[in-house]
Amino acid sequence: MKIKILKYVLVLGLISVFTSCENEQIDIQEQNQNQEVPKYDETSLSDAFFGRKSSSDCHFEYEGSSGPEFWADLCGEDWKDCDGSVQSPINIITDSVLEDASINNINTNYTVSGTNIFNNGHTIQFNYDAGSSASLNNIDYNLLQFHFHTGSEHTVDGIRYPMEMHLVHQDPVTKLLAVIGIFFEEGKTNKELNRFMNHLPEHEDDHYVSSKKYHIKDMLPGDMDFYTYSGSLTTPACSEIVTWYVVKETIKASHGQLERFEQIMHENFRPAQGLNGRLVRAND
């Protein structure tokens, strides 16, 4: 009898040990979830602007029955802009680009940021610490985040690059966006990118946070001459609130680096949208 009671006590003790372990695990998970990860993804930015539903309420993909050609119908009225006439990305036809000397160069006022990388299920996004801005067409925009698409979303004379980086800026007053697009070409290893390669969050909702600082300027091409046009977010809700600055000079990344991004994000580019009479201009 005594042995039975002892066993009973032992089992109860074990259960309570397991339970408290489980509680600890839950605490850690909650801590992670509670960590301030500003969303700033393209969908929640349009959400803030129009009160439209973001991708957390409706679901989109880059292929199949939730692919780009169906985005406008996937979320009731909220994603109807995806069928709009001022959409992005576009194919830039260099022969039709209007060179306009009155457009100012990109004037950046960037500073360092801690490392905060987030996998939102559609892209790998680097949130950038507050305090960096760029003057685009005489408007000061704050840099919020940058993220990646494999292959490139914009094409130039029909050529698609293996990857495109989007630096998302917001006018603090009007909330309108300016996005700088940078093309990647395959070449030598990109040293700046290399420091993040082992920390790219592999699965949806994974994030990596470190106090280690880096400077976005180190990742940009030397020459920031660009094509510019009015367009939209390239993910639902496809809101037509973006002035695009697509930089002509490319940056390099190695085959392995580009492959790693594609492995995690898969193909996440939206096909070129109709120009519908829009003019693409260049700053020189």
Active site residues: 122
| Least gap, CB of 42 to Zn ion (angstroms) | 6
- DSSP structure string for 143-175: EEEEEEESS-SSEETTEEPSEEEEEEEE-TTT-
The nearer residue to Zn ion, 58 or 89, going by C-beta atoms, is: 89
| Least gap, CB of 60 to Zn ion (angstroms) | 13
Site string for Zn ion, 130-169 (x = CB under 5 A): ------------------------------------x---
| Least gap, CB of 149 to Zn ion (angstroms) | 5
- DSSP structure string for 33-94: HHS------HHHHHHHHH----TTTS---SSGGGSGGGGGGSBTBTTGGGGSSS-S--EE-G
The closest alpha carbon to 195, from 151, 253, 247, 150, belongs to 253
The nearer residue to Zn ion, 166 or 260, going by C-beta atoms, is: 166
Largest CA distance in the chain: 96
The nearer residue to Zn ion, 52 or 166, going by C-beta atoms, is: 166
The nearer residue to Zn ion, 39 or 166, going by C-beta atoms, is: 166
Q: Tokens for 246?
A: 């697509």
The nearer residue to Zn ion, 53 or 166, going by C-beta atoms, is: 166
**Stretch 57-86 residues interacting with Zn ion (CB under 5 A):** none
How many residues lie near Zn ion (CB under 5 A)? 1
CA atoms within 13 A on the CB side of 43: 21
Site string for Zn ion, 187-206 (x = CB under 5 A): --------------------
- Shortest-Cβ-distance residue relative to Zn ion: 166
Which strands make up the sheet holding 155-156, listed edge to edge? 91-92, 155-156, 159-160
| Least gap, CB of 88 to Zn ion (angstroms) | 9
* Pairwise CA distance, residues 217 & 214, whole Å: 9
- Asked if 52 is part of the footprint of Zn ion (rule: CB under 5 A), the reply reads no
> What backbone torsions phi and psi does residue 102 show, to the nearest 5 degrees?
-80, -10
| Least gap, CB of 269 to Zn ion (angstroms) | 9
Indicate the SS3 state at residue 200.
coil
Task: Please give the residue ranges that form the binding site for Zn ion (CB under 5 A).
Answer: 166
